[in-house]
Chains A and B, each alone.
Chain A
Amino acid sequence: MFKDLDPILHSQLRLAVMSLLISVKEAEFTFIKEKTNATAGNLSVQVQKLKEAGYIDVVKEFKDNYPNTTCKITKKGIKAFEEYVNTLQQYLNVKK
């Protein structure tokens, strides 16, 4: 019996954000926006959902007198991402 894919992660933009954050220690909102080609509004909503799930930490501060948002994956987020990839691999192995 397969586990269901985590619905928080099984969304294109949220998965894209998590995949970026798993590769770096932390990233600014503008960097994530640039790499995902998402709109600021859509990205804000998805980042908020990831934050509410406890998968990422969001820090808002000032950098050179401008507001700056930094995102960082949490331990819970890393675990969820690993589980998601494992489940994905199980699905793909069966389909082979």
Chain B
Amino acid sequence: MSVPLTLLGLLEREPSHGYDLKRDYDAFFGRGKPLPFGQVYSTLSRLARDGKVVISDVAPGSGPDRKRYIITDLGATEVEQWLTQPVDPEPHLQTVLFAKVVLALMLDRPAAEYLDTQRRAHLHRMRELTEIKRAGSLVDALLADHGLYHLEADLRWIEMTGARLDALRKEVRS
């Protein structure tokens, strides 16, 4: 899971304080592994240093975390590029793809198109592995099969998620 890009995505939805960002991150993406406050603020500092967010105002009073962060054009472009590019097809990509789908729905972006792009990238890799299998030895085939079955499992997840997008959209935007 890319924490900086996920926080940027949440900021594209609306300007937020660090505390609110942590709360939303934990609710949607934490899945039992809450983001430490220290990581939230260090990530936001780096994003500010790199010109991807700016601090809009500092509310007086309640502690050190009252800075409100706003995404910049540079940050928004980075989110856009991240969402539209397929993830390298390899096992265990679900956490990244999961974050992309949820954020895309939150931001009213075309999540179905992103899933289609990912499906094409997966099938392209599956074709490469199938050619290795057809041209190679039985040991090559065994190794290629391992990759093929994992990619197929990802594709089933993509299909199922695609079929549930309308319901998911309602849930994450409620």
Are A and B a genuine interacting pair, yes or no? no
Footprint of A on B, CB under 8 Å?
none
